[in-house]
């Protein structure tokens, strides 16, 4: 199935007052994400993956234990990752966590504050490029994980509830090399918790 670049669910400048500038979204969505879409379409053309769903391509081309993943996986997974990333952020100052999600976070981590601490630590501790995740594991438990490059929870049979891109192109315009500050801002100001709860 051909990849398509989705429109952002908000204007390019909608997150600027919350710490993600119009310039960042123009580069990140319009150029970086588009490159994954374009390159992915070229790579799957004429292959067995051309008619498969995005999720099937990600799961089917992931190579566990590989030092470097293949080109089809890298572009497909990053397309999937970014689709989720745009959806779990949103404008607006009131970012209250819905009761069902708050209860689940407290049960899993002891408190919302401890969840945020663990999530930020996972993202800050990911060496090089990658992602920090809140996932529902196969046993139903909520966990914080991190992955390298474009690897994502689909590869491990997990459900991604929240993902934060810690590739430098996601934060360098606004935060330079201060990845921990970017992660704190993401959790406190950018996350659309209603969208996260809906993924449960």
Q: How many other C-beta atoms are found inside a 10 Å radius of the C-beta of residue 198?
A: 13
Would the annotation count 118 as a binding residue? no
Through-space distance between the first and last CA atoms of the chain, rounded to whole angstroms: 26
Which residue's entry shows tokens 């360098």? 172
163, 64, 173, 184: which is closest to 121 by C-alpha?
184
Would the annotation count 28 as a binding residue? yes
Q: Cα separation of 51 and 74, whole Å?
A: 18
DSSP lists the bridge partners of residue 165 as 131
94, 117, 111, 133: which is closest to 180 by C-alpha?
117
3-state secondary structure of 2: coil
For residue 42, what are its two tokens? 């070229």
Would the annotation count 38 as a binding residue? no
**Contact (Cβ atoms closer than 8 angstroms) between residue 102 and residue 116:** no
Q: Cα separation of 186 and 120, whole Å?
A: 9
3-state secondary structure of 143: strand
Instruction: Return binding residues.
Output: 28, 82, 165, 169
Instruction: Return binding residues for Mn(2+).
Output: 28, 82, 165, 169
């Amino acid at each position: 199935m051909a990849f398509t670049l989705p429109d952002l669910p908000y204007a390019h400048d909608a997150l600027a007052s919350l710490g993600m500038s119009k310039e960042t979204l123009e580069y990140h969505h319009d150029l970086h994400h588009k490159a994954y879409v374009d390159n992915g379409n070229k790579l799957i053309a004429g292959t067995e993956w051309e008619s498969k769903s995005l999720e099937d391509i990600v799961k089917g081309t992931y190579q566990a234990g590989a030092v470097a993943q293949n080109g089809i996986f890298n572009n497909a997974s990053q397309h999937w990752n970014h689709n989720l990333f745009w959806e779990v952020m949103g404008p607006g100052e009131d970012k209250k966590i819905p009761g069902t999600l708050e209860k689940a976070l407290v049960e899993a981590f002891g408190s919302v504050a401890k969840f945020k601490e663990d999530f930020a630590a996972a993202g800050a501790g990911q060496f090089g490029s990658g992602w920090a995740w809140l996932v529902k594991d196969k046993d139903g438990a909520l966990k914080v994980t991190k992955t390298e490059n474009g690897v994502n929870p689909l590869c491990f049979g997990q459900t991604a509830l929240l993902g934060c891109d810690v590739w430098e192109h996601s934060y360098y315009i606004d935060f330079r090399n201060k990845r921990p500050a970017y992660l704190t801002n993401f959790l406190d100001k950018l996350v659309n918790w209603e969208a996260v709860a809906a993924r449960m």
